[in-house]
Chain A
Amino acid sequence: MSATTISPLSTRRSLDWDRLWERFGISVVLLGVWVLAAIFIPAFSNPDNFINILRQSAFVGIAAVGMTMAIISGSFDLSIGSTLALAAWTAVVTASATGSALIALFAAVLVGALVGCVNGWLVTVVKIPAFVATLGMLFIVRGITFIITNGAPSRYNGPEFIWWGNGSLLGIPVPFIVFLVCAAIGAAVLRYTALGRYIFALGSNAGAARVAGVPINLVTFLVFVIVGIFTGISAMLLGSRLYSAGPGLEPGFELNVIATVVLGGTRLAGGRGSMLGTLAAALLFATLGNVLNLLQIDAFVQRVAVGLVLLIALSIEGVRQRLAERLSRE
């Protein structure tokens, strides 16, 4: 059940600042950061640089679309980092075997979906808590990846394949276009489909959702599959971008994705969330990385920065909860 407090009567008249911030807050911050960076860092306003940011944001961003839906439903998936590696490798290998990028994409998505099925099964049937189940799968899938690849990455640079991760359409990087499409689909599912409603309901109050007739197990299972699918898409694009993929791809990926979702305004406890926020947060993180690069700050510092941002974003929610508790006891 989400940690919502009933809004005090006074906000019934005025704007619901809470919700507005949740929806648009990060976008505002993003624009602010862009403006500031453009003013203070000359290299930033270079259009090529900007395109780079768009491209970079997509890899974490697409997976974050799926994770957003998972977190809104009150679930969680720690295994996506390993799934990413496995799916990316599958994409590369499939591409080099068939020469077709689309088949590679399909293969990656299939791998992601399969892992999602296993996760879903562990959580809904075996009833292992999502955290432990996906933690276990994180290592199991990683092990499988190592075994299948024999520890070595595979490479492929067929032009059709690498266009996806490196090419542009009308000046806009292809991965970013895919990101926008995925985000739009995700937003549409959440907003306009029964599944979307069920996802919000499950995260908002699982008990009430059950009473209201939501098929809880089915929704939870589907959510894991969805996470897997989006991770698969991201994986194919990443493999395409790097011309290669293997175990050890993008360490820390799961944290980046979760941080993106949380920063974007989606509550960790579920029931509330915004795809627009995820989009903005993905761009913000990419911007952050870009700025740190331009300022020639250590790559390692960047990793610390991501962790810090996540903790700060979560602490704010934690502190708010504490204040609310203190107020209600009076």
Chain B
Amino acid sequence: MSSSPPLLEVQGLSRRFPGVLALDHVDFDVFPGEVHALVGENGAGKSTLINMLAGVIQPSGGTIKLDGQAVRFANPSSAQHAGISVIFQEFNLLPQLSVAENIFINREPKRGPIIDWPTMYRRASDVLDMLKIEIDPRAVVQSLSVAQQQLVEIARALSFKAKVIVMDEPTAALNDREVDRLLEIVRSLADGGVGVIYVSHRLAEVLTVADRISVLRDGRHVLTAARRELDEPKIVSAMVGRELLHVACPPRTPGELRLVVRDLSVEDYVKDVSFELHGGEVLGLAGLMGSGSTDVVEALFGLRSMQAAEIKLNGEALAIDGPRSAIRSSLGYVPEDRKRSGILPDLSVKHNISMGIVERLRQVVWVNEREDQKLAEQYQSRLNIRCRSVNQYISGLSGGNQQKVVLARALAGNSQVLLLAEPTRGVDVGAKAEIYHLIDELVAQGMAVLMQTSELPELIRLANRCLVFADGKPQGELAKDDLNQERVMALATRFDVKGKAA
């Protein structure tokens, strides 16, 4: 790259959260004029690293050096002033205000006490022109497309005379043409002397635009190499190569046909999904974030608007227009974000479990307390939920046990099909193993499980079949023998391992 020293240098950087080491002594650096890509699975530690560079959280250990000087960012403002601009996935924009204003918020050019609009528009145009972006600086941000809004964010970062620009999954919401445009801009940014950290899981893009590529896995730095030394298979291997949990997936004997889905499409994004699910088996839905795998599960539970040629449970057509009808149709659901849509934090374990079927426990007007208690205690022992009593508030339980409660709720209605989304997210290792064991048992007893997960070891441990998604469409189905991490990741990043681009 260059003989000049790195713009940004991170040494031995670590960050600990209660119960988990998110980043473990990571080394990383960026030179001026280079695009350094950072790659890794969900949970590999990329977000943690970005948040530390942005000044949102503090490191637990290690150092950050900017231009050779050690720095500490107490808050986002100081990171920004030091010259590091981070463009997060959720935009930091003010929708009702104009593009120019968003770029210059809190730094508005003034003439005396009055805002100098002509100068602001002009300066905004300059920045936009520099990036060859054709957006009217007067346009209201709300009226722009997502791609354009992203460009406004980039323009904003650039207007800070940033030395280092970090982009977190910049192409998540863009179409192919917009992606090409963005990559050109990234390249020209680097050519202008800025150091760009490009965080993405889209390996094809990474291999197009990056000068160097680093891989994080489980919070550790695994690999850094120049682009020409790498190809997709090598990167994929570095991303996933790890020991599988030594308990292998038990043999599953699929029973009768339980759920049939044909030509499912969800909200204009996911299309052409068809599959058959049998009792006694686990069908995995794999894919990276935004691939559409989660949408399928949510749609089947009535949380998204969807259309399908056919959805049949045990031969009967289902009409699902919301969670209530889904529950009545014997579908059970464990959502991916426990805190946001899973638990009812102010309620007891018992009430959390029975919330979906309270009406079945009714005797005239009153809820049958004894039945409720019995049901909860049954699940408490069956799922080994560790709590003092089922009347305890759920907020006092650990993440793993909370997840078990949510699982109990999904089962409580005598569900015939279990829909899982990221079933062990935010759950510690011990509870994870327990939950896997529970799923094994349920499946052995005949449950049909549709499981969406982005954790590959989990997928391989539990699923006997798997549908891999990318960009809203199923890319292929993998049977047990073919089910390994490389094959899944290859399909998920749309690059067939055998060497053909998808």
A-B interaction: yes
In the complex, what distance in Å separates the CA atom of A193 from the CA atom of B322? 23
Inter-subunit contact A194/B359 (CB<8 Å): yes
Stretch at the interface among A48-56, A86-94, A103-111, A200-208: A200-208
Q: Which residues, 14 to 69 on A, are CB-close (under 8 Å) to B?
A: 16, 19
Q: Judge if A197 is at the interface, Cβ distance under 8 Å.
A: yes
Inter-subunit contact A7/B395 (CB<8 Å): yes
Q: Judge if A4 is at the interface, Cβ distance under 8 Å.
A: yes
Inter-subunit contact B344/A200 (CB<8 Å): yes
Q: Which residues, 343 to 381 on B, are CB-close (under 8 Å) to A?
A: 343-347, 351-352, 354-359, 361-362, 365-367, 369
Q: Which residues, 379 to 398 on B, are CB-close (under 8 Å) to A?
A: 388, 393, 395-396
CB-defined contacts of A203 to chain B, threshold 8 Å: 346
- How many residue pairs link A and B with beta carbons under 8 A? The number is 93
Q: Judge if B342 is at the interface, Cβ distance under 8 Å.
A: yes
Stretch at the interface among A118-126, A210-218, A298-306, A317-325: A210-218
Q: Judge if A76 is at the interface, Cβ distance under 8 Å.
A: no
Q: Judge if A81 is at the interface, Cβ distance under 8 Å.
A: no
Q: Judge if A271 is at the interface, Cβ distance under 8 Å.
A: yes
CB-defined contacts of A193 to chain B, threshold 8 Å: 365-367
CB-defined contacts of A205 to chain B, threshold 8 Å: 340-341, 343-345
CB-defined contacts of A201 to chain B, threshold 8 Å: 344, 347, 351, 355
Inter-subunit contact B341/A204 (CB<8 Å): no
In the complex, what distance in Å separates the CA atom of A247 from the CA atom of B409? 50
Contact of B324 among A7, A11, A215 (CB under 8 A): A215
CB-defined contacts of A192 to chain B, threshold 8 Å: 366-367, 369
Known: A12-B396, A192-B367, A200-B351. A213 touches B344 (CB 8 A): no
| B320 CB, nearest partner CB in chain A, Å | 12
Inter-subunit contact B367/A213 (CB<8 Å): no
In the complex, what distance in Å separates the CA atom of A1 from the CA atom of B345? 9
B398 to A, closest residue via Cβ:
A9
Known: A4-B395, A192-B369, A197-B358. A211 touches B347 (CB 8 A): no
In the complex, what distance in Å separates the CA atom of A123 from the CA atom of B188? 51
Inter-subunit contact B344/A194 (CB<8 Å): no
Residue in B303, B346, B352, B354 with the greatest tally of chain A CB atoms within 10 Å: B346
B324 to A, closest residue via Cβ:
A213
Q: Which residues, 288 to 326 on B, are CB-close (under 8 Å) to A?
A: 301, 303, 322-324
Number of residues of chain B lying within 8 A (CB) of chain A: 36
In the complex, what distance in Å separates the CA atom of A7 from the CA atom of B393? 10
**A contact residues, range:** 20 to 34
A272 to B, closest residue via Cβ:
B346
Q: Judge if B327 is at the interface, Cβ distance under 8 Å.
A: yes
CB-defined contacts of B322 to chain A, threshold 8 Å: 210
Inter-subunit contact A208/B344 (CB<8 Å): yes
Inter-subunit contact B342/A211 (CB<8 Å): yes
Inter-subunit contact A208/B340 (CB<8 Å): yes
Inter-subunit contact A211/B303 (CB<8 Å): yes
Inter-subunit contact A2/B340 (CB<8 Å): no
Q: Judge if A224 is at the interface, Cβ distance under 8 Å.
A: no
Inter-subunit contact B346/A271 (CB<8 Å): yes
Q: Judge if B333 is at the interface, Cβ distance under 8 Å.
A: yes
Known: A208-B341, A211-B335. A4 touches B409 (CB 8 A): no
CB-defined contacts of B362 to chain A, threshold 8 Å: 194
Q: Judge if A295 is at the interface, Cβ distance under 8 Å.
A: no
Q: Which residues, 157 to 202 on A, are CB-close (under 8 Å) to B?
A: 192-194, 197-198, 200-201
In the complex, what distance in Å separates the CA atom of A13 from the CA atom of B141? 52
User: Scoring A residues 269 to 299 as 1 if CB is less than 8 Å from chain B, else 0, what string do you get?
Assistant: 0011000000000000000000000000000
CB-defined contacts of B343 to chain A, threshold 8 Å: 205, 208
CB-defined contacts of A211 to chain B, threshold 8 Å: 301, 303, 323, 333, 335, 341-342
Inter-subunit contact A197/B367 (CB<8 Å): yes
Q: Judge if A6 is at the interface, Cβ distance under 8 Å.
A: yes
CB-defined contacts of B335 to chain A, threshold 8 Å: 208, 211
In the complex, what distance in Å separates the CA atom of A100 from the CA atom of B347? 44
Contact of A212 among B58, B388, B393, B409 (CB under 8 A): B409
CB-defined contacts of B357 to chain A, threshold 8 Å: 213
| A208 CB, nearest partner CB in chain B, Å | 5
A13 to B, closest residue via Cβ:
B388
Q: Judge if A135 is at the interface, Cβ distance under 8 Å.
A: no
| A44 CB, nearest partner CB in chain B, Å | 38
CB-defined contacts of B346 to chain A, threshold 8 Å: 2, 4, 200, 203-204, 271-272
Inter-subunit contact B355/A4 (CB<8 Å): no
Q: Judge if A222 is at the interface, Cβ distance under 8 Å.
A: no
CB-defined contacts of A194 to chain B, threshold 8 Å: 358-359, 361-362, 367
Q: Judge if A209 is at the interface, Cβ distance under 8 Å.
A: yes
Inter-subunit contact A197/B351 (CB<8 Å): yes
CB-defined contacts of A330 to chain B, threshold 8 Å: 58
Inter-subunit contact A213/B356 (CB<8 Å): yes
Inter-subunit contact A204/B356 (CB<8 Å): no
| A213 CB, nearest partner CB in chain B, Å | 4
In the complex, what distance in Å separates the CA atom of A7 from the CA atom of B367? 28
Inter-subunit contact B345/A204 (CB<8 Å): yes
Q: Which residues, 83 to 119 on B, are CB-close (under 8 Å) to A?
A: none
In the complex, what distance in Å separates the CA atom of A2 from the CA atom of B323? 22
In the complex, what distance in Å separates the CA atom of A9 from the CA atom of B176? 49
Q: Which residues, 408 to 453 on B, are CB-close (under 8 Å) to A?
A: 409
CB-defined contacts of B344 to chain A, threshold 8 Å: 200-201, 204-205, 208-209, 212, 271
| A18 CB, nearest partner CB in chain B, Å | 10
In the complex, what distance in Å separates the CA atom of A192 from the CA atom of B368? 8
CB-defined contacts of A197 to chain B, threshold 8 Å: 347, 351, 354-355, 358, 367
Residue in B324, B355, B409 with the greatest tally of chain A CB atoms within 10 Å: B355
CB-defined contacts of A7 to chain B, threshold 8 Å: 393, 395-396
A211 to B, closest residue via Cβ:
B341
In the complex, what distance in Å separates the CA atom of A11 from the CA atom of B344? 19
In the complex, what distance in Å separates the CA atom of A12 from the CA atom of B388? 9
B360 to A, closest residue via Cβ:
A194
| B265 CB, nearest partner CB in chain A, Å | 22
CB-defined contacts of A19 to chain B, threshold 8 Å: 393
Residue in A2, A201, A271, A272 with the greatest tally of chain B CB atoms within 10 Å: A201
| B348 CB, nearest partner CB in chain A, Å | 10
Contact of A2 among B345, B367, B396 (CB under 8 A): B345
CB-defined contacts of A210 to chain B, threshold 8 Å: 322-323, 341
In the complex, what distance in Å separates the CA atom of A214 from the CA atom of B345? 15
B356 to A, closest residue via Cβ:
A213
CB-defined contacts of B369 to chain A, threshold 8 Å: 192
The 9 closest A-B CB pairs, nearest first, are: A271-B346, A213-B356, A204-B346, A212-B355, A194-B358, A204-B344, A207-B341, A213-B327, A211-B341
Residue pairs across A and B with Cβ atoms less than 8 A apart, 27 shown, are: A2-B346, A4-B345, A4-B346, A7-B393, A7-B395, A7-B396, A19-B393, A192-B367, A193-B366, A197-B347, A204-B346, A205-B341, A205-B344, A207-B341, A208-B335, A208-B342, A210-B341, A211-B323, A211-B333, A211-B335, A212-B355, A212-B409, A213-B356, A271-B345, A271-B347, A272-B346, A330-B58
Q: Other than A11-B396, A207-B341, A213-B324, give 16 A-B pairs with Cβ distance below 8 A.
A: A4-B395, A193-B365, A194-B362, A194-B367, A197-B354, A197-B358, A200-B351, A201-B355, A204-B345, A205-B340, A207-B340, A208-B342, A211-B342, A212-B356, A212-B409, A271-B344
Mark A residues whose CB is within 8 Å of B: 1-2, 4, 6-7, 11-12, 16, 19, 192-194, 197-198, 200-201, 203-205, 207-215, 271-272, 330
